[in-house]
Structure 1
Amino acid sequence: RDGAVVGELWMVHSGGFYEVVKRKVLAPGEMPRHLHWFMWEAYTTWISGFFLLGVVYYLGGGVYLVDRSIANLGVGTAVALSLAVLVTGYLVYDLLWRSPLASRPALGGLISFGLLTAATWGLTHLFSGRAAFIHVGALLGTIMVANVAQHIIPAQRKMIAATRAGQPADATLGERAKRRSIHNHYATLPVLIAMLSSHFPMTYGHPRAWLVLTLLMLFGVAAKYVMNFRGRSNRWVLAGGLAALVAVIALTAQVPSAAPAGPDLAGAAPVSFAEAHAIIERRCVTCHARKPTNPSFPEPPSGIVFEDPRRIHELAGRIMVRAVVTKTMPLGNLTGMTEEERRTLGAWIAQGARLDDAPPRP
């Protein structure tokens, strides 16, 4: 290859061979009429994600956003804080990487991750655990798309304009754009982890949820590094990523007897089904009924209904995890389930979830 080529990759995919060539410069006459811009993927992803954030977390009375056992926020206040976090988070990041610290990427990366950890801690003390994790992902996603819109694409437009004018492109533009592109590259797995977290309540419902997410993001960054460098990977990065993953497994591998309420359950007095059922009726059936009385849920969430004692018995394990161990139900603790009620419910389940005094099925 001639001196203008600085990178080359051969690929095989879907029954065909592909060659990708990275060129340092183009002569004015070599500029193709049509160029593919890698920007609409980022823009449409962020726009659709923001609308989903609004539909799920801002509307419907903020039932997924606010947990008053964590912070007694009104829905309007919580939404305003949510928007402020996204805007302020990007501005802090952008100012950091516009500063002289940008010339020291290792130190800048450590400071950035430290600030992200602080933001994660703050969000878990502001919103519900589920919303906090989603907001960390939304913050990273906002930074990524702003990098594309504010740094990467403008630099590319200037490089193209200079090439078409027959002038040398400013190399510093490419360097700055590449730095932001590298940040986006390493943020992809942490964003994916944060966005998928709502399917794993043992993560966002953990007493140290901020630490769980921080370790998962650290593992994601390390995994990306290993994927990039493979056999040339720094062994300390590999070891650190594996250590973070092992720590997450250790933190979240809870069984009911090892849960925070576990020691109290071992010697708890016998709990009848009537006692447990009364708690479920007060705290859970507003949503988990054939016709929920909670206006935010026209249908029972996940189709789960607690009106039949046998169904409650079948779902006892899930009730233990969500209401006793992780305390992620009731959602946002809207119905005000107390710690004593959680212990009572946990004791009934730990004692076998018996239906001895349940009314006969009609």
Structure 2
Amino acid sequence: MTRLRPGAPSPIEAIPASSWNALVSDDYPFLRHEFLAALEDTGAVAPETGWVPRHLTLWRGDELVGILPHYLKYHSFGEYVFDWAWAEAWERAGGRYYPKALSAIPFTPVPGPRLLLAADIDPLQARCRLAEAWEAGDVSSWHLLFAEQAEVDVWRQARPELIPRHGVQFQWRDRGFGDFEGFLATLTSKRRKAIRRERRRVAEQGLTLHRLEGHEIGDADLAHFFHCYQITYLERGQRGYLDEAFFARLRRDLPASLLLIQARLEGRPVAAALCLQGSRTLYGRYWGSEVMADGLHFETCYYQGIEHCLARGLTLFDPGTQGEHKLARGFAPQRLTSLHHIADPRLRAGVARFCDEESAHVTAYHEAAGRSLPFKI
């Protein structure tokens, strides 16, 4: 009989890495034990930063058969599905919004699996058992962010009261292009010429691009990347959520998942983008530059990634959140759904109304964005 392990908060170190990873897809590195452990062990995810790891597990005897990443949150930073207005409204009304419960990958708005189950575990039963953790707990709400649509559908079947909230991101898919020129051939003449002009302009400024994978990324390469990553945040008067030790852990523990795209000027690195990759998908994640150069961001973060996918047989490129400028470069809009359990019926009614009204705008935006793609008809 499958049972939910109850009890105290469970950081990832309390769960055997081999048992955890046995349930993880080979295409989604963000759910691997090594990635989440790097977040916790380097202090990015910790009670001191407002993240309390409380990973939920399902066991059959001594066998781990289910995992749901799960955190108590004392703020809403690092999530990218924004509920600040909900918290403010509820606290103005005399309620207490924090702590809340969250199932997501910290600082990582990348769609993918969330609940991991052994193949012979009933998915509805598993979800009902897991829901006990926040339905009986001292939290205002539970939030499932950036889950795959099939997983969202099963959650809504198991718990119809969950409130859906929709959003849009942009992704590139290989349509059998063969190479970058094959990709360009599917675009309108105007966009094809514009992309070639952008790439040519990067070269005319003396910049060269280099892709380093896994153990090809040296100490100096990683240090320079981290310097660039911090620049991106410092430009906004902030500091990055992640420190250099986190990225060093990734290079040590998940080298095959790393791709560093480095821009060099006169042989010296001046910009960098760090991506993660699975068996079928490239995930663009972190970027920064020491220089201002025309087209450099597009080349480093988009065109090099497309070339890498075509060279390695990866069929999907998720370049990260936001950015309508991705449309003109062949990244199609994808509709995403988050789910929200709100304990108090008064707040639940308000949130449901907000999400329902917002959904109509998201649908219109998604349809308009799809009409703006530059592919030939």
- The TM-score with structure 2 as length reference comes to 0.20
Higher relative contact order at CA 8 Å, sep ≥6: structure 1 or structure 2? Answer: 2
Q: Which has the larger radius of gyration?
A: 1
Q: Where is the strand percentage greater, Structure 1 or Structure 2?
A: 2
Q: Where is the helix percentage greater, Structure 1 or Structure 2?
A: 1
- The TM-score with structure 1 as length reference comes to 0.21
